[in-house]
Structure 1
Amino acid sequence: MALSPAYVRIASGLLAGLAACAPVEAAPEISYQGIETRMLDETLVEFRLALKGAADDAAVRDYAACAAARYALIHDHAYVRPIRMTTARSFGTWRADAVYMISRERPAGGNPAAARITVDACAAKGIPTV
Protein backbone atom coordinates (compact mmCIF):
# COMPACT_ATOMS: atom_id res chain seq x y z
CA MET A 1 0.00 0.00 0.00
CA ALA A 2 1.45 3.36 -1.06
CA LEU A 3 1.21 6.32 1.27
CA SER A 4 -0.25 9.53 -0.02
CA PRO A 5 2.11 12.55 -0.28
CA ALA A 6 -0.09 14.47 2.17
CA TYR A 7 0.25 11.69 4.77
CA VAL A 8 4.05 11.65 4.33
CA ARG A 9 4.23 15.44 4.86
CA ILE A 10 2.09 15.26 8.01
CA ALA A 11 4.08 12.36 9.43
CA SER A 12 7.36 14.14 8.68
CA GLY A 13 6.11 17.27 10.42
CA LEU A 14 5.04 15.31 13.48
CA LEU A 15 8.40 13.56 13.71
CA ALA A 16 10.24 16.87 13.40
CA GLY A 17 8.06 18.31 16.16
CA LEU A 18 8.79 15.36 18.43
CA ALA A 19 12.51 15.71 17.78
CA ALA A 20 12.29 19.33 18.91
CA CYS A 21 10.83 18.11 22.21
CA ALA A 22 13.77 15.82 22.90
CA PRO A 23 15.72 16.81 26.00
CA VAL A 24 18.65 19.06 25.26
CA GLU A 25 21.83 18.49 27.22
CA ALA A 26 22.73 21.60 29.14
CA ALA A 27 26.29 22.77 28.84
CA PRO A 28 28.22 21.79 31.95
CA GLU A 29 28.71 24.59 34.42
CA ILE A 30 32.25 25.91 34.51
CA SER A 31 34.01 25.71 37.86
CA TYR A 32 36.83 28.24 38.17
CA GLN A 33 39.64 26.64 40.19
CA GLY A 34 41.81 29.67 40.96
CA ILE A 35 44.63 31.80 39.67
CA GLU A 36 48.26 32.20 40.70
CA THR A 37 50.07 35.38 39.64
CA ARG A 38 53.75 36.12 39.44
CA MET A 39 55.31 39.41 38.44
CA LEU A 40 58.16 38.71 36.01
CA ASP A 41 59.26 42.34 35.75
CA GLU A 42 57.62 45.78 35.90
CA THR A 43 55.38 45.12 32.91
CA LEU A 44 55.19 41.32 32.52
CA VAL A 45 52.93 39.15 34.64
CA GLU A 46 52.50 35.38 34.55
CA PHE A 47 49.15 33.77 35.34
CA ARG A 48 48.64 30.08 36.08
CA LEU A 49 45.02 29.07 36.29
CA ALA A 50 42.63 26.16 36.04
CA LEU A 51 38.97 25.44 35.49
CA LYS A 52 36.66 22.47 35.04
CA GLY A 53 33.60 21.94 32.88
CA ALA A 54 34.72 23.67 29.68
CA ALA A 55 34.32 22.02 26.29
CA ASP A 56 37.46 23.62 24.85
CA ASP A 57 40.26 26.04 25.76
CA ALA A 58 38.25 29.18 24.95
CA ALA A 59 36.97 29.39 28.54
CA VAL A 60 40.43 29.14 30.07
CA ARG A 61 41.71 31.78 27.62
CA ASP A 62 38.86 34.10 28.64
CA TYR A 63 39.59 33.41 32.32
CA ALA A 64 43.25 34.40 31.78
CA ALA A 65 42.30 37.61 29.97
CA CYS A 66 39.91 38.54 32.78
CA ALA A 67 42.57 37.91 35.43
CA ALA A 68 45.14 39.96 33.53
CA ALA A 69 42.74 42.87 33.08
CA ARG A 70 41.83 42.98 36.79
CA TYR A 71 45.49 42.70 37.76
CA ALA A 72 46.31 45.65 35.48
CA LEU A 73 43.62 47.79 37.10
CA ILE A 74 44.74 46.85 40.61
CA HIS A 75 48.25 48.03 39.70
CA ASP A 76 47.02 51.27 38.09
CA HIS A 77 47.56 50.15 34.50
CA ALA A 78 45.02 50.69 31.72
CA TYR A 79 46.02 48.10 29.10
CA VAL A 80 46.87 44.42 28.82
CA ARG A 81 48.44 42.59 25.92
CA PRO A 82 48.82 38.82 25.70
CA ILE A 83 52.41 37.71 25.13
CA ARG A 84 52.04 33.93 25.23
CA MET A 85 49.69 31.26 26.50
CA THR A 86 49.81 27.51 26.72
CA THR A 87 46.76 25.43 27.56
CA ALA A 88 46.32 21.77 28.36
CA ARG A 89 43.49 19.52 29.46
CA SER A 90 43.93 16.64 31.88
CA PHE A 91 41.16 14.61 33.51
CA GLY A 92 38.55 17.26 32.71
CA THR A 93 40.56 20.19 34.07
CA TRP A 94 41.81 22.88 31.72
CA ARG A 95 45.03 24.62 32.79
CA ALA A 96 46.73 27.65 31.31
CA ASP A 97 50.08 29.32 31.75
CA ALA A 98 49.83 32.84 30.34
CA VAL A 99 52.06 35.89 30.25
CA TYR A 100 50.57 39.34 29.74
CA MET A 101 52.15 42.75 29.40
CA ILE A 102 50.46 45.47 31.45
CA SER A 103 50.91 49.15 30.68
CA ARG A 104 49.57 52.58 31.52
CA GLU A 105 49.74 53.69 27.87
CA ARG A 106 48.36 51.74 24.91
CA PRO A 107 51.21 49.48 23.78
CA ALA A 108 52.23 49.28 20.16
CA GLY A 109 51.77 46.04 18.27
CA GLY A 110 50.14 42.85 19.33
CA ASN A 111 46.53 42.84 20.43
CA PRO A 112 46.18 45.21 23.40
CA ALA A 113 42.90 45.45 25.28
CA ALA A 114 41.57 48.16 27.55
CA ALA A 115 41.58 46.65 31.03
CA ARG A 116 38.41 48.43 32.25
CA ILE A 117 36.37 47.30 29.23
CA THR A 118 37.66 43.74 29.59
CA VAL A 119 36.82 43.56 33.31
CA ASP A 120 33.31 44.87 32.64
CA ALA A 121 32.79 42.27 29.90
CA CYS A 122 34.03 39.54 32.25
CA ALA A 123 31.57 40.62 34.94
CA ALA A 124 28.73 40.55 32.39
CA LYS A 125 29.71 36.97 31.42
CA GLY A 126 30.13 35.84 35.03
CA ILE A 127 33.85 35.17 34.66
CA PRO A 128 35.77 35.85 37.88
CA THR A 129 38.86 38.03 37.96
CA VAL A 130 41.81 38.15 40.37
Structure 2
Amino acid sequence: MAGGLSGCDAAQPTVTRFSPNYEGVETALLDGDLVRFEVEMRGARGPSDVEDYAECAAAQYALIRGYGFARHLRTNVYEEAGLWRGDAVYTISPALPRGVRTIDAEVVTASCVENGIPMV
Protein backbone atom coordinates (compact mmCIF):
# COMPACT_ATOMS: atom_id res chain seq x y z
CA MET A 1 0.00 0.00 0.00
CA ALA A 2 1.57 3.22 -1.10
CA GLY A 3 0.87 6.39 0.82
CA GLY A 4 1.08 9.83 -0.69
CA LEU A 5 0.98 13.43 0.31
CA SER A 6 -1.57 15.65 -1.24
CA GLY A 7 0.92 18.41 -1.96
CA CYS A 8 -1.12 20.93 -0.04
CA ASP A 9 1.01 22.17 2.80
CA ALA A 10 -0.55 24.45 5.34
CA ALA A 11 0.57 27.99 4.70
CA GLN A 12 2.94 29.25 7.34
CA PRO A 13 2.03 32.67 8.70
CA THR A 14 4.56 35.40 8.13
CA VAL A 15 5.78 36.87 11.38
CA THR A 16 7.12 40.39 11.24
CA ARG A 17 9.16 41.48 14.23
CA PHE A 18 8.39 44.92 15.61
CA SER A 19 11.63 46.88 15.33
CA PRO A 20 10.92 50.60 15.42
CA ASN A 21 13.47 53.34 14.91
CA TYR A 22 12.87 56.15 17.41
CA GLU A 23 14.13 59.30 15.73
CA GLY A 24 13.84 61.86 18.50
CA VAL A 25 11.81 63.95 20.90
CA GLU A 26 11.57 67.71 21.11
CA THR A 27 10.04 69.29 24.18
CA ALA A 28 8.67 72.78 24.64
CA LEU A 29 7.39 74.27 27.87
CA LEU A 30 4.29 76.14 26.75
CA ASP A 31 3.14 77.73 30.00
CA GLY A 32 3.82 76.79 33.61
CA ASP A 33 2.96 73.10 33.76
CA LEU A 34 1.84 72.72 30.12
CA VAL A 35 4.36 70.85 27.94
CA ARG A 36 4.39 69.92 24.26
CA PHE A 37 6.23 66.85 22.95
CA GLU A 38 7.00 66.29 19.29
CA VAL A 39 8.16 62.75 18.53
CA GLU A 40 9.27 61.04 15.32
CA MET A 41 9.71 57.37 14.57
CA ARG A 42 9.85 54.85 11.75
CA GLY A 43 8.46 51.35 11.84
CA ALA A 44 5.39 52.15 13.92
CA ARG A 45 2.57 49.62 13.66
CA GLY A 46 0.08 52.44 13.98
CA PRO A 47 -0.80 55.59 15.92
CA SER A 48 -0.70 53.88 19.33
CA ASP A 49 3.06 53.23 19.00
CA VAL A 50 3.63 56.95 18.43
CA GLU A 51 1.34 57.82 21.35
CA ASP A 52 3.31 55.43 23.60
CA TYR A 53 6.57 57.13 22.57
CA ALA A 54 5.14 60.56 23.47
CA GLU A 55 3.82 59.24 26.78
CA CYS A 56 7.26 57.90 27.68
CA ALA A 57 8.77 61.30 26.91
CA ALA A 58 6.14 63.03 29.06
CA ALA A 59 6.69 60.69 32.00
CA GLN A 60 10.46 61.15 31.97
CA TYR A 61 10.12 64.92 31.56
CA ALA A 62 7.80 65.06 34.61
CA LEU A 63 10.37 63.20 36.70
CA ILE A 64 13.22 65.42 35.48
CA ARG A 65 11.23 68.48 36.57
CA GLY A 66 10.60 66.96 40.02
CA TYR A 67 6.97 66.03 39.37
CA GLY A 68 5.39 62.62 39.78
CA PHE A 69 2.40 62.84 37.48
CA ALA A 70 1.16 64.01 34.11
CA ARG A 71 -2.21 64.37 32.43
CA HIS A 72 -2.65 63.76 28.73
CA LEU A 73 -4.50 66.55 26.93
CA ARG A 74 -4.13 65.57 23.26
CA THR A 75 -1.98 63.79 20.72
CA ASN A 76 -2.12 64.29 16.97
CA VAL A 77 -0.46 61.54 14.94
CA TYR A 78 0.27 61.49 11.23
CA GLU A 79 2.43 59.47 8.88
CA GLU A 80 4.12 60.47 5.65
CA ALA A 81 6.43 58.26 3.59
CA GLY A 82 7.04 55.92 6.53
CA LEU A 83 7.89 58.66 9.03
CA TRP A 84 5.42 58.80 11.89
CA ARG A 85 5.09 62.04 13.84
CA GLY A 86 3.29 62.79 17.05
CA ASP A 87 2.43 66.16 18.55
CA ALA A 88 1.33 65.66 22.16
CA VAL A 89 0.45 68.03 24.99
CA TYR A 90 0.53 67.09 28.67
CA THR A 91 0.30 68.90 31.96
CA ILE A 92 2.76 67.88 34.66
CA SER A 93 2.05 68.06 38.38
CA PRO A 94 3.41 67.02 41.77
CA ALA A 95 0.10 65.40 42.79
CA LEU A 96 -2.28 63.17 40.88
CA PRO A 97 -4.26 65.54 38.65
CA ARG A 98 -7.97 65.29 38.04
CA GLY A 99 -9.08 63.57 34.87
CA VAL A 100 -9.18 60.16 33.29
CA ARG A 101 -5.98 60.26 31.22
CA THR A 102 -3.47 60.67 34.03
CA ILE A 103 -0.16 58.87 34.34
CA ASP A 104 2.08 58.02 37.25
CA ALA A 105 5.47 59.04 35.88
CA GLU A 106 7.50 56.43 37.77
CA VAL A 107 5.25 53.56 36.68
CA VAL A 108 5.22 54.70 33.05
CA THR A 109 9.00 55.21 32.86
CA ALA A 110 9.57 51.71 34.26
CA SER A 111 7.27 50.31 31.57
CA CYS A 112 9.10 52.32 28.88
CA VAL A 113 12.45 50.89 29.98
CA GLU A 114 10.99 47.37 30.01
CA ASN A 115 9.59 47.84 26.48
CA GLY A 116 12.70 49.52 25.08
CA ILE A 117 11.03 52.87 24.38
CA PRO A 118 13.50 55.76 24.75
CA MET A 119 12.66 58.85 26.77
CA VAL A 120 13.78 62.46 26.97
Same amino acid, percent of matched pairs: 38
Q: Is the 8 A contact 2:50 2:85 kept in 1?
A: yes
- In 1, the alpha carbon distance for the partners of 2:41 and 2:79 equals 10
TM-score (norm 2): 0.89
- In 2, the alpha carbon distance for the partners of 1:58 and 1:107 equals 23
Residue equivalent to 1:94 = 84
CA shift, 1:79, in A, is: 0.5
Residue equivalent to 1:15 = 9
- In 2, the alpha carbon distance for the partners of 1:126 and 1:112 equals 22
Asked whether 1:70 is paired with 2:64, we answer no
Where in structure 2 are the equivalents of 1:27-38 lying within 5 Å? 27-38=17-28
Which structure 1 segments of 5+ residues have no match? Answer: 1-6
Larger Rg belongs to: 1
- In 2, the alpha carbon distance for the partners of 1:121 and 1:83 equals 21
CA shift, 1:29, in A, is: 1.6
What is the letter of the counterpart of residue 88 of structure 2?
A
TM-score (norm 1): 0.83
3-state secondary structure, aligned to 2:100: coil
- Shift of the 53–43 alpha-carbon distance from structure 1 to 2, 3 Å rule, reads same
